[in-house]
Amino acid sequence: MTEIETETAPRRALFVDDELAVLEMYRKLFDSGDEVSELELRLREIELRLAGRRSDRPRPPPVEAVFHAQAEEAVEAVRRALRDQAPFCVAFLDVRMPPGPDGIWAAEQIRSLDPDVEIVIVTAYSDVDPAEIARRVPPAEQLLYLQKPFHPHEVRQLFRALAERWEARRRQRAEIRTLQQELADARQKAMLEEAARKRAESDRPPASARSAGSPGRLSLAGGLARGFLVSISEDGLLLELGAGIERVLGIPARELRGKAVDALFARPADAKAVMVALAVQGSLSNHAVRLRAADGVVEATLSLSPRPGGLPGWEGLVSCTAAAAAPPAGARTSQIPPPGPDHEARRVLDGAVQALLSAIEARDPYTAAHQRRVALLSAAVAQELGLPREMIETVGRAGLVHDIGKLSVPAEILGKPGHLSSSELEVVRGHAQAGHDILAKIEFDRPIARITLEHHERLDGSGYPRGLRGDSLLLESRVLAVADVVEAMASHRPYRPALGIDAALEEIRSHRGTRFEPGAVDACLRLFQSGRFRF
């Protein structure tokens, strides 16, 4: 097999129709095994003539197409594909295929065999009931419709979009399995560390038996922990480090300056947790961390606030203590108790949030920036409403990942200027359910997945994906919905210019009490009108 053949696995497609002319059309589109259209080839040649080189956009993977005229044959083809570990990513099924069973029966059988396959119902008849089909062949977000007659390029574009969504869903599952394993490992490690700490404490002599002058870089004076100043950029780089760092950690400031904040911490989860907390809250106070020292690990607390003068980033104080050095007899210390298993698990969950945020940032920087701003606004609205601290943190954390489901939406649809076709709109609207499915598999202790699912629902039932209304929606979801609309309208997008904050605020004001939670609307308006919040 050549290098090109092994580079990317083919996308497998199943086409089922009793009309030979339709099957032949499918065959001409896909049986060549290559999804690159004549138009794309012409564009590449134009690029070569104008720029002297072709663009570096990736060539779509080859397509392996299978064709059948009857439903039973199609079901057997799916069964064989799963047995051979070569599943189909998309199946196009005609509805009426006499003399055998119809396409809806085929869709039911195929879905029961393969829950992941994207199914497209193809029909020339207007009496098809999408709601009834969705009931028989769930989930609705993996079920689309194509009306005959159609243009061949509609089939090609729909196939590519659904194949990319299928591939993204498989990648997400792999990432989630990795995160779940990391979480389990962290919990086990934390429990072992906690057990070891308790054993060590039971064996430790009393404080009076230890010398106040015990050696150790971090011995305390007057009960105050040694520390140093630190300055961090918005993108997580260490800008400045105080001279005390070498005395405390044994590492010169020049070795860390300009590096990612991860270099300061003993555990990657600490760095991720710090950046997530700063993105949501804007500051930190006595946040427990572990620092990397020249000869081991140092327990510390970190306090950060925005840099003065409107400069981007944060600055503050790292205060360090160490169990190796004892305070003077009778002195009060500010040592931090070692974190237990729950604390460690929370760190890993925050790390998971940041990992998911990084994944969408790499794919779509606009969406990543949108999520950060929505997180800040939704947390501010929740605080203005006087909600409990836990709810404020929950809505902020949900804001950071509420559009993670857009990883399943092809980039060319996300950034497409102008109106989307009905099939493209269905793909985009699937992101709320896709995001829920990703987050539901991570063991958050708060309803992050449900908020993600509901952030496009509306009070009057006009939203999606489920048309929920009123009190059936979480209050956190209703708060996030307001923040999401305001940020989306006020900010620039690849497919349109910003509509402006005035238009955004008018949108929520005009639909107060119908689409949007009245209290959340009022709180949002107060924040902007008083100047206490701005993007």
Length of the chain: 535
What span, in angstroms and rounded, lies between the C-alpha atoms of 399 and 496?
A: 22
For the domain spanning 352-529, the CATH number is 1.10.3210.10
Tell me how far apart the 2 most distant CA atoms of the chain are, in Å.
93
CA 344 to chain centre: 21
What span, in angstroms and rounded, lies between the C-alpha atoms of 327 and 91?
A: 71
Residue 459, SS3?
coil
Beta strands 90-94 and 118-123 are parallel
Contact between residue 461 and residue 473 where contact means Cβ atoms under 8 Å apart:
no
What span, in angstroms and rounded, lies between the C-alpha atoms of 243 and 256?
A: 12
What span, in angstroms and rounded, lies between the C-alpha atoms of 174 and 180?
A: 10
What span, in angstroms and rounded, lies between the C-alpha atoms of 417 and 276?
A: 32
Sheet containing 226-232, strands listed edge to edge, beginning at the edge strand earlier in sequence: 238-241, 226-232, 314-321, 296-306, 284-293
CATH architecture of 3-150: 3-Layer(aba) Sandwich (3.40)
Give pLDDT tens digits along the chain (535 positions): 333 333 467 899 999 999 999 999 999 888 654 444 554 555 555 555 554 545 444 566 889 999 999 999 999 999 999 999 999 999 999 999 989 899 999 999 999 999 989 999 998 887 778 878 888 888 877 888 888 888 887 888 889 888 888 888 788 777 766 666 666 566 556 655 665 665 566 555 444 333 333 333 333 333 333 677 888 988 888 988 877 788 888 888 888 888 888 889 888 777 877 877 777 667 777 777 888 888 888 888 888 888 776 678 888 888 775 433 333 333 333 333 344 444 554 555 565 666 666 666 666 777 888 998 999 999 999 999 999 988 998 899 899 899 988 887 887 787 777 788 888 888 899 999 988 988 887 766 689 999 999 999 999 999 999 999 999 999 999 999 999 999 999 987 766 778 899 999 999 999 999 999 999 999 999 999 998 888 7
Other CB atoms closer than 10 Å to residue 211's CB: what's the count?
Answer: 9
Q: Which amino acid is at 298?
A: V
Q: Global pTM?
A: 0.45
Contact between residue 520 and residue 377 where contact means Cβ atoms under 8 Å apart:
no
Radius of gyration of the chain (CA): 28
**What residues does each domain of the chain span?**
3-150, 224-325, 352-529
* Topology, domain 224-325: Beta-Lactamase (3.30.450)
Element (H, E) at 136: helix 130-136
